[in-house]
Structure 1
Amino acid sequence: MGGFELDDFKRMMEALSSCVILHDAESKAILWANPAACAMLGFTLEELLPLKAPDMSSSAKPYERETGLRWLHGAVLNGMNVIEWCYRAKNGEEILSEAIATLVHLARRDVVMVQFRNIEREERVKREMKRLESRLKEFMQDSDEGLAVLRPDGGIEYLSDAGRKLLGLAPDQPLPPFTDLCDPASRRELRDLLKLALPDALSFPFSYTIEPPGGARRWHQASCRHIEIENDLKGHLLHFRDITQQVEAEHARRHQQEALEYLARYNAMGEMATAIAHELSQPLAAIRNYLEGAVLRLQAPDPSPETIAWGLRNAGRQVDHAAAIIKSVREYVVKLDQAEALVDLNEILAEIRYFIEVKAEEAGVPVELEPCDGPLMVSCERVLIGQVILNLAFNAIEAMQHRPGDGRGIRIGSARQDGKAVLAVRDHGAGIDAALHERLFDGFFTSKVSGNGIGLALCKNIVARHRGDIWAQPAPEGGAVFCFSLPLQ
């Protein structure tokens, strides 16, 4: 024993300032506790021995008896196990502790020795340090981010040097109210925000526009939260940075998008012009023939009024036919500048049906239209969505031109699926390799010998702007299916 008796070890254990409780390794029952543990928990050793985990632990869920038993058993299995445990003293006080359970092999039995210490003060200090660190991090941002503390009336309590630069204020210039630097709309929003006494943890993001004296308008993005630093600052802490370049880039992107959509509105007109020219050539040729026939009959020695009238009536019918074709085009074109509205997707399909059938008839491709029962109400710009349908339909028709006559055909159908309106264009063409499906709409892919794929890219842009999706998939019977969906209203 190295000069120590067994009683010496016992007295040393009892003199420890660290709290120690011994548990039976098998039953987990308390066998002994040193005076430090008894003093912290407020129980005598006799009172402590019959206690179970619920009698001396917090009632919170993380400290349930089963959790404590698993922790002690983990020490039996692994030799040692550490846990953060909340003990409950005899007087009801809860004591957050770091507890270390260690398996000890004694002569007569194995025990689990639990050493624990009160870490409540340490945790409180950690929380305070974390809060201070968070505040320091808030104040010590990069120099391109401004920092201000604003009073409820919009006045500036504190402004960093970077903030002065972002607001266009000289280093020695008196600080005007922050709200006076904002445009009217942003001024109202900021004043409403400053009336709120937000909790420290809540940060409120927003954007605003400033109009510095003699400077150009700038856009800022900011986060705001209410702070109260004892004997220091009180108000709304504002972090802000200049996002003018991003805003201008977004405006340029929108302008480009509008230009693309403008092209999309008129993209189908070239396709239509060819088909309409072919369609009009027949009635115009017939009109010419009927009129020339009527002229020849008038020049005959014995003109027949009945045959002349028959020719003129047929010429008139052909004029009506040509007028109907022109009317269909006119009715479509006058809608080119319509804004987004609530419309039936099936109605859009019906409006452009004529143009699809003219294109398909010229190519010798049968077309089946299968609109679903009932309206599919979506919020969209009908001509742009009509352009998407035309583009997909015309692509399908072109894919059919090299197929045998009995293998040709496209089918256009609509459906209601999971709160969305879905339109699908199916063809019986060669299909598209599955590995290429992801590239179909990237603006560069095309399966045509001449072409740059911009049609599908435009379709993707239009559908995305309408909060929808567009995709392609193989058709079960062969060929490809191009689909897009829009949210139902």
Structure 2
Amino acid sequence: MSPETNPPDPIARFELSDYQRMMDSLAICIILHDAETKSILWANPAACNALGFTLEELLPLKAPDMSRRSHEYRREIGRKWLHEAVLHGSNVVEWCYRAKNGDEILSEATATLVKLAHHDVIMVQFRDIAREEKIKREMKKLEGRLKEFMQDSDEGVAVLRGDGSIEYVSDAGRKLLGVRPGQQPPKSFTDMCEPSSREELLELLSLALPDAISFPVRYQITLKNGVQRWHDATCRYIEIENDLKGHLLHFHDITDQVEAEDARRRNQAALEYLARHNAMGEMATAIAHELSQPLAAIRNFLEGSILRLNSEQIEREGVIWGLQNAGRQVDHAAAIIKSVREYVVKLEQTETLIDLNETMNEVRYFIELKAADSLVKVQMRPHESALMVSCEKVLIGQVILNLAFNAIEEMSSFPQEERVIRVSSERVGETAVLRVTDNGGGIDAGHRERLFDGFFSSKVSGNGIGLALCKNIIARHRGDIWAQPAEPRGTSFCFALPLVKNDK
């Protein structure tokens, strides 16, 4: 073979019959058209079965005989499509075939020019895409619905890279970040966060968490206009093949909630501050009565001493006696004042480890002062061993006082021989329980559930705020407070505080 002679093309030796035998074995639908006349030359069994025609029935058919009766599928359009394949080698079109029974088959049809030994043919491969188109329509509809649903959603969605930059952010997320329509979102999500929040979020973004584990995170963010907002979010790592990779953040604005929580904390602090001072107010009458006796005695002793000093014959011993007795009454008054000061001196006290029994003893003086005015007998029964709890001593003492003063008021209308209240403490499981029990008329079962609600009171006068404040104080100390019937009559007001774990 000379160098100038080209080797024969093996494909060129293929006859139409050879090509047909190869196409017979394929599952895809194939129709052969003459490249010049565009007439049907042959179709494989898959195409005949799909269209419902035998090969003999199919050969004489034209485009209108086997296509949807619609303007875009007329014969000249079909011939033009086939001719473009002859000119350019291939051409793809969406074509709707019509089967013998009238069923329409929406197809993706690919026309390819094939050069055979004696003449050229156009091979048309077509496949049913009706199911695909239906799925596309459903997906488009679903996408539209999701977009509509998410349009007014208050939850933003963002995908963040490990350095805090934004890979994707939803429309709702853009609103939450203060990005107006047409504006570009910030390049970095974490740069908008306050320093303390930024460190926590960046630490979370550095983790490629397995098994789609979500972690909650709360952060403070500064918008473009300088306004600070609080977000609550869940964060989890995602890796979608050939699409998104990073941390998926679902976030929503909780600024109003945070501000409400801050307001509640401020109100609670104010109530507790008033509760600390309330001890003085509750005791004022009893203390004034208690102090009036030593003050009157001091005045009498001093006046007597002055009279002796002004007399012609000064009785030295009498003057000294009067002044000494006045001094003793001063000590008595000072002891009363000291008791009050020691109880309420630390108005901003923080939690400390205390023995609940000791707190009972510290408030005993004030309870007995209050009880003395109403001729009520007080029985104090502390537990035999220490009950160590973590609390603010003044606040817990004020709860004891409130409960005891209520019990004294309840007993004041009963006969004197029945006027008894008991203040006791005990250990129940892992809690220290304090009980204040009276012998009064008791409380209806329906009312006991509402006693500690704000502004409920079973009395004609009074707003019930004392018990509501007691409930808030005990709840903040991780405890519980309740009322229950006493035996044989009356009511027990009780509260329980958790014992410290190392207390045995």
**Which residue type is aligned with residue 238 of structure 2?**
I
Tell me the residue number matched to 2:277. 266
Instruction: Give the alignment of 1:397-412 within 5 angstroms.
Output: 397-412=408-423
* 1:153 equivalent in structure 2: 163
Question: Which position in structure 2 is the counterpart of 1:87?
Answer: none
User: Would you say 1:423 and 2:427 are equivalent positions?
Assistant: no
Cα distance between partner residues in 2 of 1:175 and 1:401: 71
1:345-384 → structure 2 map (5 Å cutoff) = 345-384=356-395
Task: State the Cα distance separating 1:174 from its structure 2 match.
Answer: 4.9
SS of alignment partner, residue 449 of structure 2: helix
1:455 to 459, 466, 473: 466
Q: Distance in 2 between matches of 1:151 and 1:320?
A: 74
Offset, 1:468: 0.8
Residues 311 and 187 from structure 1, CA distance in 2 versus in 1: closer, same or farther, beyond 3 angstroms? same
How far residue 365 of structure 1 moved from its aligned partner, in angstroms, is: 1.0
**More deviation, 454-463/345-354:** 345-354
Determine the C-alpha separation between the residues in 2 that align with 1:192 and 1:169: 25
Shift of 1:262: 1.8
User: Aligned residue pairs: how many?
Assistant: 356
| 2:151–2:171 CA contact under 8 A, matched in 1 | no
Quote the offset at 1:308 in angstroms. 2.6
Match of residue 264, structure 2, among 243, 249, 253: 253
- Residue 208 of structure 1 is aligned with which of 212, 216, 219? 219
Separation in structure 2 between the aligned mates of residue 449 and residue 239 of structure 1, nearest angstrom = 53
1:184 to 2:181 alignment: no
In structure 2, the partner of 1:386 is 397
For 1:375, give the aligned amino acid. A
Distance 1:156 1:357 in 2: 68
Maintained 8 Å contact 2:151/2:172: no
The equivalent residue for 1:298 is 309
Equivalence for 2:293: 282
- Rounded Cα–Cα distance in structure 2 between residues aligned with 1:436 and 1:210: 47
Q: Displacement, 1:415?
A: 1.1
**Contact 2:280 / 2:340 at 8 angstroms: preserved in 1?**
no
CA distance in 1, matches of 2:404, 2:239: 64
Matched, 1:340 2:355: no
Which residue number in structure 2 is paired with residue 435 of structure 1?
Answer: 446
Deviation at 1:200, TM superposition (A): 4.1
Q: What residue in structure 2 maps to residue 162 of structure 1?
A: 172
1:151-191: CA deviation from partner (whole Å, max 9, x where unpaired)? 12211111111111111234432532111111111111111
Paired residue secondary structure (2:204): helix
The answer to whether the Cα contact below 8 Å between 2:382 and 2:426 also exists between their aligned partners in 1 is yes
Report how far residue 445 of structure 1 moved: 2.0
Q: CA deviation at 1:142?
A: 5.4
TM-score normalized with structure 2 length: 0.67
Q: Are 2:273 and 2:348, in contact at CA under 8 Å, matched by a contact in 1?
A: no
Task: Report the CA distance between 1:336 and its aligned residue.
Answer: 1.4
CA distance in 2, matches of 1:175, 1:480: 64
User: What do residues 343-388 of structure 1 show as CA deviations (whole Å, max 9, x unaligned)?
Assistant: 2222222221211111112221111111112222222111111111
| Worse overlay, 289-298 or 434-443 | 289-298
Equivalences for residues 68-217 of structure 1 within 5 A: 143-170=153-180, 171-217=182-228
Q: 1:420: Cα distance to partner?
A: 0.9
Amino acid across the alignment from 1:262:
Y
Q: If you compute each CA radius of gyration, which structure gives the higher value, 1 or 2?
A: 2
Shift, 1:197, TM fit:
1.5
How far is the alpha carbon of 1:307 from its aligned partner? 2.7
Unaligned 5+ runs, structure 2: 1-141
Q: Deviations over 1:53-110 (max 9, x none)?
A: xxxxxxxxxxxxxxxxxxxxxxxxxxxxxxxxxxxxxxxxxxxxxxxxxxxxxxxxxx
Q: 2 CA distance for matches of 1:260 and 1:323?
A: 30
Separation in 2, partners of 1:246, 1:398: 40
Distance of 1:158 and 1:445 partners within structure 2: 53
How far did 1:463 drift? 0.8
1:395 aligns with 2:413: no
- 2:439–2:491 contact (8 Å) kept in structure 1: yes
Question: Is the contact made by 1:222 and 1:238 (CA closer than 8 Å) also made in structure 2?
Answer: yes
Aligned-partner Cα distance in 1 for 2:151–2:439: 61
* Counterpart check, 1:321 vs 2:328: no
Distance 1:168 1:200, change over 3 A: farther
- The alpha-carbon deviation at position 234 of structure 1 amounts to 1.2
Matched with 2:42 is none
Render the CA deviation track for 1:30-68: whole Å, top value 9, x for unaligned. Answer: xxxxxxxxxxxxxxxxxxxxxxxxxxxxxxxxxxxxxxx
**Residue segments in structure 1 that go unaligned for 5+ positions in a row:** 1-131
How far did residue 291 of structure 1 move?
1.8
| Alignment match, 1:464 | 475
Q: What's the offset of the Cα at 1:301? A: 4.3
For 1:463 and 1:300, the matched residues in 2 are separated by 63
Rounded to whole Å, the distance in 1 between the matches of 2:372 and 2:270 is: 32
In 1: Cα distance, 2:231 partner to 2:309 partner: 82
User: Over residues 435-472 of structure 1, what are the superposed CA-to-partner deviations in whole Å (9 max), with x where a residue is unaligned?
Assistant: 21001111222233321111111101111111111000
Q: In 1, are the aligned partners of 2:276 and 2:347 still within 8 Å (CA)?
A: yes
TM-score in terms of structure 1 length: 0.69
Residue 322 of structure 1: CA displacement?
Answer: 0.6
Higher mean Cα deviation, 451-460 or 221-230? 221-230
Contact residue 168 and residue 215 of structure 1 kept, 8 A: no
- The alignment's C-alpha RMSD in Å is 2.2
